[in-house]
A and B are shown apart, each in its own frame.
Chain A
C-alpha cells in the first residue's frame, strides 16, 4: 500500500471507531469529547482533498462553535437521570443485523459504479498555485452570489429564532 492509502485507511478506521464511541458513551460530556477528536480527524481528511479552508472551517465552526453549544446545552439540562437509565431497546440486535445487511448491499452496489467527473476549471494544480482560500473567495463571490446572499437570510432567521426561543424560556 502506498502512503496515501495507509493514511486514508487510518482515518477511515479511526473515524468509524470514534463515531461508535460518541454514540455509546453513557456520559454526554464524554461523547462531546470524542466528537471533538472525531471532528479533528474529519478536518484532516479534508486536507487530503486539497481543501484546507474547509478543514479550517470544520474546526472553527463545528469543533469551536457548535460543539461548545452542545456542551452548554448538556450542562444546562444537567442529565443526571439519563446517565443511569437503560439506553438500548430490546430490538437492538435486529437493528444491528439490518444495518449490516444494508451496508453489505451498499458496498455491492456502489462498488460497481464508476464515476468520471468532467474536468472543471478548478483543478488541483490551480488550487495549489493560488491557495484554496483564494479560489473559494473568487468562486463564492462571483459564481455563487445568490446562494451566498441567501445564506445571510438563513443566518438572520437563525439569529431571530435563537432569541425568540430563549426568551420564551426566560418568561
Chain B
C-alpha cells in the first residue's frame, strides 16, 4: 500500500528515543554480563538434595503451583479497568489548563460513573481478604 501525504515527512525517526535504546542495551549487557562473567569463577557442585526446592529441609510434598484464591484474579481484572481510567486522566491533566471549566465538568462525569462501579465493587466485598 502506498500512502502519500504532503504534510508529513516520510522519513520520521524518533531520535529522542535513541538514549532509551542505549539504556536498554546497557541494562541487557549488565544483566547477562554479570551472570556470564561469574560462570568461570564460581563452583558448580550440584547433587539431588541441593537441587530440591526449599521446604524447610524436608523433601517437597505435592504440587507447588496449587490453585490459588480467585481473589487475585478479581484484583487483576479490576486493575485493568482502573488502569484504563488512570490512562484517560493523564492527557486530561496535561491539557487541563487549556480545557477550562468544561473539561473539568466532563471529567467529573467520567469519574462519577466509575465511582458507581467502585462503590459496587466495594459493597460486593471484592476488596476484602477474609
B-binding residues in A (CB < 8 A): 2-4, 7, 44, 47-50, 52-53, 57, 60-61, 64-66, 68-69, 72-73, 75-76, 78, 110-111, 113-117, 119, 123-125, 131, 133-134, 136-138, 140-142, 145, 148-149, 151-153, 155-156, 158-160, 162-163, 166-167, 169-170
A-binding residues in B (CB < 8 A): 1-14, 17, 63, 65-68, 70, 72-74, 76-81, 83-85, 87-88, 90-96, 98-99, 102-103, 106-107, 109-110, 113-114, 116-118, 120-121, 124, 126
Is A152 a contact partner of B91 (Cβ separation < 8 A)?
Answer: no
DSSP class of B's interface residues: helix, strand, loop or mixed?
Answer: helix
23 A-B pairs with CB atoms under 8 Å apart are A2-B11, A53-B91, A65-B84, A69-B76, A73-B73, A76-B67, A76-B72, A78-B65, A111-B2, A114-B2, A116-B5, A124-B12, A145-B106, A148-B106, A149-B113, A152-B85, A152-B110, A155-B84, A155-B113, A156-B117, A158-B80, A163-B74, A166-B77
